[in-house]
Amino acid sequence: MTTTTAESDVDRKAIALEYLKRLDRGEDFFDLFDENVQFYYPKWGLADGLDAMKEAFGGIASIIGGIKHDYAYLNYVVNGDTVVVEGTSSGKAADGTEFRAGVTHAGRWCDVFEIRGGKIHRLFVYLDPDYAGADTERYPWLRS
């Protein structure tokens, strides 16, 4: 007789939070992902599979020097395998420019996870990747 345990909403939330904490600590987090993960990041696009996701994170690491997510203020919406996490963060862009949600335009974000069998199968990240606030020519309200 095979016994299976259903993955709970609490389990899925814990996996999403563990990803954010490892990201903040600069630790490896790729073991949290399925080999066939689908990853989306603004201005990068879609990355299909773990190797493509690692390549995307290599590019992302070149624009961000460090990040800290504000765990106390995370909003979760869980529906089946889907976990949506909305939050704020602070950190430094690669050029040393500091960002903080509520102080600069960067730092607010929303991640959409699909988590099954203890692994993240899909992660779509929604945020403004201009952490340094350098993209001002296209947006007149940022020029002042």
Structure tokens at 124: 């779509």
Strands (DSSP E) found in the chain? 33-41, 45-48, 64-69, 75-79, 82-93, 98-100, 108-116, 119-127
pTM of this structure: 0.91
List the domain boundaries for the chain.
Answer: 9-25+32-138
Q: Averaged in consecutive runs of 10 residues, what is the pLDDT profile of the chain (144 residues)?
A: 65 98 97 98 97 97 95 97 98 95 94 98 95 86 74
pLDDT of residue 124: 98
Burial of 47 (0-12, 13-18, 19+ CB in 10 A): buried
pLDDT of residue 2: 42
- Fold of domain 9-25+32-138: Nuclear Transport Factor 2; Chain: A, (3.10.450)
Between strands 108-116 and 119-127, the pairing is antiparallel
